[in-house]
Amino acid sequence: MAFAAIKDTIPVTDTSFEELGLSEPILRALRDAKYDTPTPIQAQAIPMLLDGADLFGIAQTGTGKTAAFTLPLLHNLAEDGVRPSPRAVRALILAPTRELALQISDSIKTYGRHMHFRHAVVMGGVSQRPQVTALRKGLDILVATPGRLLDLIEQKELVLGECEYFILDEADRMFDMGFIRDVRKIARGLPTERQTLLFSATMPAEIQKLAGEILHEPERIEIKARTVAVERVAQQVHHLNGDAKRDKLGELLRNPDLSKVIVFTRTERGADRVVKHLEREKVSAEAIHGNKSQNARQRALDKFKAGKVRVLVATDIASRGIDVDEISHVVNFELPNEAESYVHRIGRTARAGHEGVAISFCDSGERGYLRDIERLIRQQLEVVGAGPAGPETPPPHKKSGGAQNRGRNNGGANKGGYRRTVHEILIPTNGG
């Protein structure tokens, strides 16, 4: 039964990119990128967007949503055939994180390689000067994070009066990160005659409200998160307390099948601690989190992408939008305190038709998080080794305010309770 569901959700369609009506330079770039068929969101969204519709897309990374909005944007910009004035932009794409902004920019480069558009990324954490220089000549496409964008508008380095395309990516994350007022402010500065797209992985009431404000009679496409991540990922949980998590991570990494691994922690300090531990175990690892400079994050990500580092340790926010192919395993060293984040995390593996394995560690304080996750994904994670033991302890603070120390080494009531090594086999995924 589950098997049929899996088959139905493999993210390719029987349409072709040619049928969707995209222009030749774009089709050529897609052939170069070896994309054979559109994903469901692409097949649905592209014709609507070529028609000029507004779109409310409920989809997360891994569905092919970036191409779903970038391809028609490139097509439409070429059709319009106008040039931007100095300091003006024709299209604005807003992303909550720098990593996501850079990734969108990479997609524009990939899909637009046979076209001649001027595009740039504007984001915090790096020098403003080259961004200003790029803006002065005017841009066809600007990818931006909200804070820096507003700074540049206030400094009159950028005007939005010519912007006819507005794309808001990961709107729910904008909300989580406290950017929503900035987003509203930016939207108010745009011309009313424009095409607007809003993408969000989830659809809380605030996002629906925002959609009502900025979209005009939108089309709506919903690609269920379950179809992209949950069903194609083999998911396991180990109940471990205290140092047993570290020991288990070391043990798992002795298996070379874990070739490209993202380990998630809730906090920056937690991430640094895991890296230190792995270094002691002679496993190459790098951390990316908000406490590191943009350059350091990018360097770590590049090394991981290139296979020079085997393990990337990340916090949720830093990991958003990370687009690395062929991640073999996701390890949730600490469970996220928001169940949605779990889906985002495990969506890093099993991208674009691949399959993956997600291994979660759950201590006695995290059982509530595990229940939330299982409720959200409507499935129970496979328990590997012994089940939960000892009393449940209260969860750590609900919203982790950055560096938060749970005192793992001196706290856990059941410290050492799971030292016993459990022999297990990573089950292969049964996707198809």
Largest CA distance in the chain: 68
Would you give the distance in Å from CA 31 to the centre of its chain? 25
| Exposed/middle/buried for residue 382 (C-beta within 10 Å: 0-12, 13-18, 19+) | exposed
Rounded distance, CA 238 to CA 54, Å?
44
The answer to the question of residue 266 lying near ligand AMP (CB under 6 A) is no
Looking only at the bridges linking them, the beta strands covering 356-362 and 311-314 are unpaired
Q: Which of 67, 223, 287, 330 binds ligand AMP (CB under 6 A)?
A: 67
Identify the residue whose tokens are 């409310």. 56
Helices in 155-192 by DSSP H: which ranges? 171-176, 180-188
Q: Which stretch binds ligand AMP (CB under 6 A): 58-66, 84-92, 239-247, 383-391?
A: 58-66
The answer to the question of residue 39 lying near ligand AMP (CB under 6 A) is yes
- For the CB of residue 347, give the shortest distance to ligand AMP in the complex, in Å: 9
The answer to the question of residue 66 lying near ligand AMP (CB under 6 A) is yes
- For the CB of residue 326, give the shortest distance to ligand AMP in the complex, in Å: 10
What lies within 8 Å, CB to CB, of 416 at 6+ separation is: 241, 242, 243, 244
The answer to the question of residue 62 lying near ligand AMP (CB under 6 A) is yes
Q: Which stretch binds ligand AMP (CB under 6 A): 37-45, 113-121, 252-260, 366-374?
A: 37-45
Rounded distance, CA 95 to CA 382, Å?
35
The answer to the question of residue 58 lying near ligand AMP (CB under 6 A) is no
Q: Which of residues 149-168 bind ligand AMP (CB under 6 A)?
A: none
Total chain residues near ligand AMP (CB under 6 A): 15
Q: Which of 20, 22, 29, 38 binds ligand AMP (CB under 6 A)?
A: 38
| Exposed/middle/buried for residue 155 (C-beta within 10 Å: 0-12, 13-18, 19+) | exposed
The answer to the question of residue 46 lying near ligand AMP (CB under 6 A) is no
The answer to the question of residue 348 lying near ligand AMP (CB under 6 A) is no
The answer to the question of residue 350 lying near ligand AMP (CB under 6 A) is no
Rounded distance, CA 40 to CA 404, Å?
40
Q: Which of 40, 57, 64, 96 binds ligand AMP (CB under 6 A)?
A: 64
Whichever of 109 and 397 has its CB closer to ligand AMP, that residue is: 109
- The amino acid occupying position 251 is E
- Within a 13 Å sphere around the CA of 351, how many CA atoms are in the beta-carbon half? 19
The answer to the question of residue 239 lying near ligand AMP (CB under 6 A) is no
The answer to the question of residue 347 lying near ligand AMP (CB under 6 A) is no
Rounded distance, CA 97 to CA 319, Å?
9
The answer to the question of residue 63 lying near ligand AMP (CB under 6 A) is yes
The answer to the question of residue 232 lying near ligand AMP (CB under 6 A) is no
Q: Which of 61, 145, 341, 400 binds ligand AMP (CB under 6 A)?
A: 61
Rounded distance, CA 23 to CA 382, Å?
47
Q: Which of residues 16-35 bind ligand AMP (CB under 6 A)?
A: 35
Looking only at the bridges linking them, the beta strands covering 285-288 and 356-362 are unpaired
What are the residues binding ligand AMP (CB under 6 A)? Answer: 35, 38-39, 42, 61-67, 323, 325, 351-352
